[in-house]
Amino acid sequence: MMDLKIFDRMESEVRGYVRSFPVIFKQARGSVLIDEDNKEYIDFFSGAGTLNYGHNNPILKSKLIEYLDTDGLVHGLDMATSAKKYFLETVDRVLFKPRKWQYTLQFTGPTGTNAVEAALKLARQVKGRQNIISFTHGFHGVSGGSLAVTANSKFRNAAGVALGNTSFMPFDGYFGPDANTMDYLERMLDDSSSGIDHPAAVIVETVQGEGGVNVATWRWLKDLEKLCRQHDMLLIVDDIQVGCGRTGSFFSFESAGIQPDIITLSKSLSGFGLPMSLVLIKPELDIWKPGAHSGTFRGNNLAFVTAAQALESYWRDGAFANDTRRKERLVRDWLENLVHSYPMAGMSVRGRGLIQGLVTPGDDDIAARIAKKAFEHGVVIETSGANDEVLKVLPALTIEDDLLLRGLEIIERSVGEVLAGKGVSAHVLKFGGQAR
C-alpha cells in the first residue's frame, strides 16, 4: 500500500482530487498513468481537459528539451522572445488566416481564471457598465471576478465576501427540452423594469465542463449572439475547458458560426500541461492602457514552445479534428448502448466531441460510486454537475483506440457492479420490452 500520510499531515484540507484518487502517481505517458506500485491507469480525466494531447506527448517533449538545451528563455515577463514570436506567427498562420479571423492576443497570468478576470475587466471598461450575464451551472474560475460569474454554491460560499455585478440566467435546457431559455433572457433584457441592470457582456461555455456536461445547441448560441448585438453587450466565450480541440474543432463554437468578441483559452493551450492562458480580443475592443493589467507569469516561454508545436502538429489540416469526431462516435455509441442496457436505471448521455457525460438520476451518489469502482479497475475518471451526478468521460484526443475501448469496457463493468448493488440488472427490457 502506498503511504499517503505526508499529504494528509502537511497539505491543507482544501486538497481535492487526491481524495478521489488516493495513490501516488510517479509517471505518465500518453493516456496511461503509473503509480508507485507500478499499477497502470487509463486516463479518462486528462487533467480536467488540460492534456488533450496526452501526458508527455513525445513530439512536444522533444521540442521542449531542445529549447531548454539551447538555453532559450524560460521566464520572460511580457518581453519579446523568439519563442513568443514563433507562437504568434503560428497562431496567425494555423488558426487565424484559414478562418479569416482577426483577434488581438492578451497574454495573462498562467491560470484560466486569470484570463477570465482580464476578459471581464476589459468588457466592463469597453461598455462602461458593471453587470455581466452568466449562466446557471457555469464555471469560470475561483478568483474574485471569475467566482462572481461562477454558479456553484460550494465555490461561492468560500469567497467570504459578497459576489456581485452578475445576473444569472438559465442555460440552454435548464427547464428541460421544451422550454427555450433564450426567450426568457430576451424578455428580461427587453423589459426595462425586469430588474436586470444593462449588462456589459455575457459570458458562456458552449459545453459546461464542470457544471455537468450541459451542451448549448448551435441555435441557442446563435440566438445568444444576436441578443448580444441587439442589446449592445459583448459576447465572451469561455473556451478554457472545451476549446483546443475538445469538441472536434479547435474552437468549440465554430459550427455555430458565431464570432465572440472575446475568447478565453487556457487548460490545453500549451498542449503539454504547462500553465498558459490567453484572451483573444476583437481588435477594436482592445482599449487596454499599456501595463494596466499585469502579472509576473505572463511569459511562460516553455508553454509557448509546446503550444506552437501543438498547433503545428495537430491543427494544420483537418485530420486530427476528424479523428476526434470519429472517437466521439465510438464513445457516444458505447455509452448509449450502456444506457439502453439498463433501461430501469434512468441514465442518459450528453456531450459534444470527446467530452461526454453519463448522466445518472443523481441519487445514492451513483456517478461517484461508478468513478470509484472504475478507479479500482484502473481508470481515472471524474464526476461533474451540481450534485456530481454526471460521470465525465474526458480522454486525451490522442488516445489509442484499444486504450479507449479498454477504458470504456471498465466503465461498463463498473456501472454493472454499482447498479447490481442497487438490484438493477442489465438487458431487462431490451428488444421491445421482452424480458430475457
Ligand X SMILES: *Cc1c(COP(=O)(O)O)cnc(C)c1O
Pairing of strands 390-393, 355-359: antiparallel
C-alpha cell recorded at residue 278: 490567453
Q: C-beta of 119: minimal distance to ligand X in Å?
A: 10
Closer to ligand X by CB, 209 or 271: give it.
Answer: 209
Q: Do residues 117 and 129 touch, judged by C-beta distance below 8 A? A: no
What residues between 282 and 321 interact with ligand X by CB under 6 A?
A: none
Among 55, 124, 127, 140, the residue binding ligand X under the rule CB under 6 A is: 140
When asked if residue 416 is in the footprint of ligand X (CB under 6 A), the reply is no
Q: C-beta of 172: minimal distance to ligand X in Å?
A: 15
Q: 44, 53, 59, 25: which is closest to 403 by C-alpha? A: 44
Among 42, 240, 278, 347, the residue binding ligand X under the rule CB under 6 A is: 240
Longest dimension (CA), the chain: 71
Kind plus residue range of the DSSP H or E element containing 236: strand 234-238
Q: C-beta of 141: minimal distance to ligand X in Å?
A: 4
Closer to ligand X by CB, 119 or 408: give it.
Answer: 119
Q: C-beta of 161: minimal distance to ligand X in Å?
A: 19
Among 31, 181, 241, 309, the residue binding ligand X under the rule CB under 6 A is: 241
- DSSP single-letter state for residue 288: P
Among 109, 199, 209, 245, the residue binding ligand X under the rule CB under 6 A is: 209
Residue nearest to ligand X (CB): 112
Q: Measure Cα distances from 87 to 18, 240, 304 in Å.
A: 34, 18, 6
Among 43, 117, 172, 210, the residue binding ligand X under the rule CB under 6 A is: 210
When asked if residue 141 is in the footprint of ligand X (CB under 6 A), the reply is yes
What residues between 109 and 138 interact with ligand X by CB under 6 A?
A: 111-113, 116
Phi, psi of 425 (to 5 degrees): -115, 165
Question: Per residue, what are the HEC states of 18-37?
Answer: HHHCCCCEEEEEECEEEECC
What residues between 253 and 282 interact with ligand X by CB under 6 A?
A: 266-267
Inter-residue long-range contacts of 253-259, CB under 8 Å, 24+ positions, other chains counted: 253/206, 253/221, 254/99, 255/218, 256/206, 256/218, 256/221, 256/222, 256/225, 257/218, 257/222, 258/221, 258/222, 258/224, 258/225, 259/225
What residues between 92 and 111 interact with ligand X by CB under 6 A?
A: 111
Size of the site for ligand X (CB under 6 A): 15
Contact residues: ligand X, CB under 6 A? 111-113, 116, 139-141, 205, 209-210, 238, 240-241, 266-267
